[in-house]
Amino acid sequence: MWEGVYQEFSELTKSEQLALFNAMKQDLFPDEPDKITKLLKSIREARFASGLGCVHCGSTSVKRNGKYRSRQRYLCNDCGKSFNDMTNTPFSGSRYPEKWVKYIELMVEGYTLPKIAERLKIHISTAFYWRHKILNAIGSLGFNQLQGIVESDETFFRESMKGREITHRKAKKRGEKDKKRGISNLKIAVVVAQDRNGNMIARKAGTGRVKAEEIDTVLGEYIHPSSLLCTDTATNYKKFAKLKGLQHETVNGSQKQRVKKGIFHIQHVNNSHNRLKGWMERFQGVATKYLDNYLYWFRWLDIGKNVAFEKRVEQMLISACQKSNHTTVNILRSI
C-alpha cells in the first residue's frame, strides 16, 4: 500500500516533496504545547504567591473572567481593568511568543546579541530590548540577605558612554579606546559581596575610590546585622562596618596575608571578580548605564551554576514574570 504512494512521491518536484514531508511531519509529530503554556501554572503561583491581586492597582477583589487563547483572564472589581497571568511581564504583548523560551535559553548560555539575533532571526535591536526587559524584571526581585561571614571587595570597570551594545559593530583593538579617552577615562567601581552559603551581590557603587556611604547604598539593606564582614584593610570598609555596627575582620593583602585564623579571607569574592571579568569580556565593554543589569545577569548565572540547564531556563522564565514590571522601549531608551 505505502509503496505505491512512495513511488508517486518520486515523481514530485523537489519543493513538492519537501512540502509533503513537512505536512506529514506536522501530522505525525504535532508541535508540543509551548513551554510557556506548560509553565503557566508555576508562573501564576510565583506571581500570586500571596493571593490573587490586580496587577494594575493591587486590589484583591479580582474575579476570573473567562479565557482568551487558552490564557485565563481576570477582571478587577475595583479598577475595572482586566489582566492575565502574563500581563506586565517582559513577554506580554510580544509578537513572537514562540521565541521567548529559546531567548531565555540563550540568555542562560550567556550569548551575545549578534549571536542571539542570528539564531532567532530577530532584529538585533529587538534582541537588545528583550534582554533588558528580562534583566530589569529579574533584577527587580533584588537580592537575598547575606549572613554569617560576608566577604566584600570592589573591582573596576572602564567607564563607557556607549549608547548601547548594538552600536558595537566591530571588535576594537585593545588599547585603542584608552588613547581616545585619555584622562577622562574613569573607572567604575563594582562592589561584590558574598556569604559562604552561595548568596551574592554585585552592584555598581560609584566612580573611582568607593566611599563608605556608597557601600552602604548598595549593600546596607542586604547584610544581616549579625553578619561578620570580611574585607581588605581599606578604610572605607572600616567606616562602613562601624556605620552598620557589624563585626569586622580584615586581611592585609599588601603584607601577603591571605587567611586569618584559618577562616577569614576574601578569596571567594576575588575569585568571583575574576569570573565576572572573564564573563564580561564577550560583550566588549558594556555601557555604564546598563552595567547593573549585566552584573545581575552574571550573579544569577553564577549562583545557579550547579542547577541543571532546563531547570535554570524555567527559573529565569518564572523569575522574569514574578513581579509586575512594565518596561517599555521608551523607558529603556531614557535610562
Contact between 79 and Zn ion by CB under 5 A: the answer reads yes
For Zn ion, the closer CB: 78 or 98: 78
Q: Which of 12, 41, 35 is nearest to 24 (CA)?
A: 12
* Count of residues that bind Zn ion according to CB under 5 A: 7
What single-letter amino acid sits at 114?
P
Contact region with Zn ion (CB under 5 A), list: 78-86, 175-183, 204-212, 261-269: 78-86
Three-state DSSP at 152 gives: strand
Query: What would the 3-class secondary structure string for 193-261 be?
Result: EEECCCCEEEEEEEECCCCHHHHHHHHHHHECCCCEEEECCCHHHHHHHHHHCCEEEECCHHHCCCCEC
Residues paired with residue 74 on neighbouring β-strands, in sequence order: 64, 83
Contact between 55 and Zn ion by CB under 5 A: the answer reads no
CB 113, CB 164: distance < 8 Å:
no
Contact region with Zn ion (CB under 5 A), list: 2-10, 23-31, 50-58, 127-135: 50-58
Q: Which of 134, 135, 124 is nearest to 168 (CA)?
A: 124
For Zn ion, the closer CB: 37 or 61: 61
Q: Tell me how far, at minimum, the Cβ of 194 lies from Zn ion, in Å.
A: 39
Q: Which cell goes with 39?
A: 509553565
Applying CB under 5 A, which of residues 54, 137, 188, 280 lies at the interface with Zn ion? 54
Applying CB under 5 A, which of residues 44, 48, 59, 318 lies at the interface with Zn ion? 59
For Zn ion, the closer CB: 112 or 324: 324
Q: Which of residues 265-294 bind Zn ion (CB under 5 A)?
A: none
Contact between 57 and Zn ion by CB under 5 A: the answer reads yes
For Zn ion, the closer CB: 62 or 321: 62
Contact between 60 and Zn ion by CB under 5 A: the answer reads no
Q: Which of 255, 134, 274 is nearest to 202 (CA)?
A: 274
Residues in contact with Zn ion by CB under 5 A are: 54, 56-57, 59, 76, 78-79
